[in-house]
Amino acid sequence: MTTTEAVSAPPDFLAFLDRVAGALDAIFVGDPAPYAALWADIDDVTLYGAWGPIEQGHEQVTRTFSWVASRFSDGVMEPPEYTVIAVSGDLGLTVGFERGVVRVDGGAPRPMTLRVTHGFRRLDVRWWLTHRHADYPPIDQRG
């Protein structure tokens, strides 16, 4: 599911998800600014990054995006795939996948899949990102 499909969520939230998708495109080609600009400037924003960083606070979280973006170049991402989009009042949550082909640290282009959970808050009538947890999906060991 992408944000262009019919989803039971407020239109302003779906529009914000489209902005997130565009900002993710930018970070995967090396530009962190659009994604960093979508994060609430509050002390309790959090990041559990796929490459290990665990950060709290606007400055620490958005500074980490500069490091992440510096590792990427020439990325081509698909629109985020949301398996869950939930909104209740001023809180929102998405669960899904980010997929594409990326070049990391100047290496050869390679496929990348992340499973991602984002948290959102509406503050002063505007949606903001407040949490990201991303990792590389492990192999399902249930056999």
Percent of the chain with pLDDT over 70: 95
**Complete domains list, the chain, with CATH:** 11-135 (3.10.450.50)
Task: Express each pLDDT in 11-39 by its tens digit.
Answer: 999 999 999 999 999 999 999 999 999 99
Please list the residues that pair with 47 across neighbouring strands. Answer: 55, 132
The pTM assigned to this predicted structure is 0.91
Task: Express each pLDDT in 53-67 by its tens digit.
Answer: 999 999 999 999 999
Quote the tokens at residue 120: 């959102």
Pick from 65, 81, 141: nearest CA to 113: 81
Count CA atoms within 13 Å of residue 106 on its CB side: 0
For residue 44, is pLDDT > 80?
yes
CA distance 33 to 70: 12
DSSP strand E in 1-142: where?
46-48, 54-56, 72-77, 81-88, 91-104, 110-123, 126-135
Listed in sequence order, the residues at least 6 apart from 58 whose beta carbon sits closer than 8 Å to its beta carbon are: 39, 40, 41, 42, 43, 45
Residue 80: the pLDDT is 97
Helix locations, 1-143, DSSP H: 11-27, 33-36, 58-71
Residue 43: the pLDDT is 96
Which letter, b or e, does each residue of 37-65 get, where b requires 16 or more Cβ atoms within 10 Å of its Cβ? Answer: ebbbeeeebebebbeeeebeebeebbebb
For residue 70, is pLDDT > 90?
yes
Task: Express each pLDDT in 103-114 by its tens digit.
Answer: 999 999 999 999
